């Protein structure tokens, strides 16, 4: 039976084994999926051992996405979206061949456009934060053809640098004060603010009519960002559970050649809708 796993530290909290077990059952795929706890200084050894034991693929989570990028670059190839992200969250092993991919951004876009019925084409989109999560989302968001894509960060230079990676006139990097007077149809929080229940310095009027606020973080209760977005006039809000499922479905497609339906698994993980829109 083909072996797959999610690797991280810590890892006991991961929903990936449950998600991929449900995908495999739905698609009648014979595979075994587990959680691998790698020592903080033992990522490469753990991956090498997994491959030697016949492992076919890995999902990679905190804090190993940068090491996974280096591993794929050294031992195989990287997808274009992984190259731009500078991080890998999915590894595929075909014998001696290694492929590194980043499915986070495409999972985000799929959740927005298909599950939340929020097409991005022609919209003004704002990405908050300029770290790894924002970088991973950048190329898939731009490929969805928004009218404008802005990146805002507390350190404006980081946002400007990120915007320059795409080298497109409609992509803008800025600090939070530069958002004053701007309006966006979709505002995505890729910062770590929700981890610490922090609010962001967002101006009044940021959300256009019928705007959607999306937090890449997910939780059992509304995040600080979503509560703040509601108070600033966002018409719709959603958290990142859908992104988690869609990036997992993209990894499953990369490994098995079939993309599972995420709706039944979403109902399994969250039987009652959390967000009222």
Active site residues: 65
Axis crossing angle, helix 132-143 with helix 156-166, rounded to the nearest 10: 40
**174 and 160 Cβ atoms separated by less than 8 Å:** yes
15 belongs to an annotated ligand binding site: yes
192 belongs to an annotated ligand binding site: no
92 belongs to an annotated ligand binding site: no
133 burial class (0-12, 13-18, 19+ CB within 10 angstroms)?
Answer: buried
131 belongs to an annotated ligand binding site: yes
H-run or E-run covering 189: strand 184-189
Tokens of 192: 């770590």
97 belongs to an annotated ligand binding site: no
- Per-residue b/e over 93-132, b at no fewer than 16 CB within 10 Å? beeeebbbbbbbbbbbbbbbeebbebebeebbbbbbbbeb
123 belongs to an annotated ligand binding site: no
156 belongs to an annotated ligand binding site: yes
Tokens of 232: 């600033």
221 belongs to an annotated ligand binding site: no
Sequence-separated (6 or more) residues with CB below 8 Å from residue 164:
173
**163 and 172 Cβ atoms separated by less than 8 Å:** yes
111 belongs to an annotated ligand binding site: no
153 belongs to an annotated ligand binding site: yes
95 belongs to an annotated ligand binding site: no
Q: Report d(CA 156, CA 272) in Å as an integer.
A: 39
266 belongs to an annotated ligand binding site: no
**58 and 255 Cβ atoms separated by less than 8 Å:** no
107 belongs to an annotated ligand binding site: no
The annotation places the binding site for shikimate at 14-16, 61, 89, 104, 218, 247
The annotation places the binding site at 14-16, 61, 89, 104, 129-133, 153-158, 216, 218, 240, 247
The annotation places the binding site for NADP(+) at 129-133, 153-158, 216, 240
């Amino acid at each position: 039976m083909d072996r797959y796993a999610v690797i991280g530290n810590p890892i006991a909290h991961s929903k990936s084994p449950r998600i991929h077990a449900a995908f495999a059952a739905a698609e009648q795929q014979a595979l075994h999926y587990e959680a691998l706890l790698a020592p903080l200084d033992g990522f490469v050894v753990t991956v090498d051992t997994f491959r030697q034991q016949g492992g076919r693929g890995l999902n990679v989570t905190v804090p190993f996405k940068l090491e996974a990028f280096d591993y794929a670059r050294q031992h195989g190839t990287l997808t274009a979206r992984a190259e731009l992200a500078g991080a890998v969250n999915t590894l595929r092993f075909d014998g001696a061949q290694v492929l590194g991919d980043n499915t986070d951004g495409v999972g985000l876009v799929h959740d927005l456009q298909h599950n939340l019925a929020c097409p991005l084409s022609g919209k003004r989109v704002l990405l908050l934060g300029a770290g790894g999560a924002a970088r991973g989302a950048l190329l898939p968001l731009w490929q969805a053809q928004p009218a404008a894509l802005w990146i805002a960060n507390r350190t404006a230079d980081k946002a400007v640098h990120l915007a320059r990676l795409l080298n497109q006139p409609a992509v803008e990097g800025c600090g939070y004060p530069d958002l004053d007077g701007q309006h966006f149809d979709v505002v995505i929080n890729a910062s770590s603010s929700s981890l610490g229940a922090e609010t962001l310095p967002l101006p009044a009027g940021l959300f256009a009519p019928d705007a959607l606020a999306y937090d890449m973080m997910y939780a059992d209760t509304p995040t600080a960002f979503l509560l703040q977005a509601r108070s600033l006039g966002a018409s719709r809000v959603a958290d990142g559970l859908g992104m988690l499922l869609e990036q997992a479905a993209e990894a499953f497609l990369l490994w098995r050649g079939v993309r599972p339906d995420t709706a039944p698994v979403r109902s399994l993980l969250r039987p009652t809708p959390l967000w009222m829109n």
